[in-house]
Amino acid sequence: MGTIRQEIIDKLKEGYFTVKELSKILSLPEKEIIEHLKEISKGRVKIQVKNPVCKKCGFKFTNLKHFKKPSKCPSCKSTFISEPEFKI
């Protein structure tokens, strides 16, 4: 597992990626990518987050929990929300 985590870290050093993109690049389920991101963030490595935005009303999400994309906009209830992006 250590190697995969290192691969994720190396990828994120290149720039911003979504969980979906990382899942494709590393051929891992999105769930596993999220688990790795959680573990990485517990260590000394600081992950920077580009927070998601509601594409309908422009609501900006903050304090993203557990690297997951929010399911619904609290302001307009739209589910049309941009993917959060991560980098190191």
Alpha helices of 28-88 — where are they, by DSSP H? 30-42
Tell which residue, 48, 51, 57, 49, has the closest CA to residue 82: 51
Q: How many residues bind Zn ion (CB under 5 A)?
A: 8
| Binding flag, residue 78, Zn ion (CB under 5 A) | yes
Tell which residue, 79, 77, 86, has the closest CA to residue 34: 86
| Binding flag, residue 51, Zn ion (CB under 5 A) | no
| Binding flag, residue 16, Zn ion (CB under 5 A) | no
| Binding flag, residue 73, Zn ion (CB under 5 A) | yes
Give the nearest distance from C-beta 48 to Zn ion in angstroms: 24
Task: Determine which residue in the list 28, 49, 50, 59 makes contact with Zn ion, applying CB under 5 A.
Answer: 59
Torsion angles phi and psi, residue 83, rounded to 5: -75, 135
Residue 25: which H helix or E strand, with range? helix 19-26
Binding site for Zn ion (CB under 5 A): 54, 56-57, 59, 73, 75-76, 78
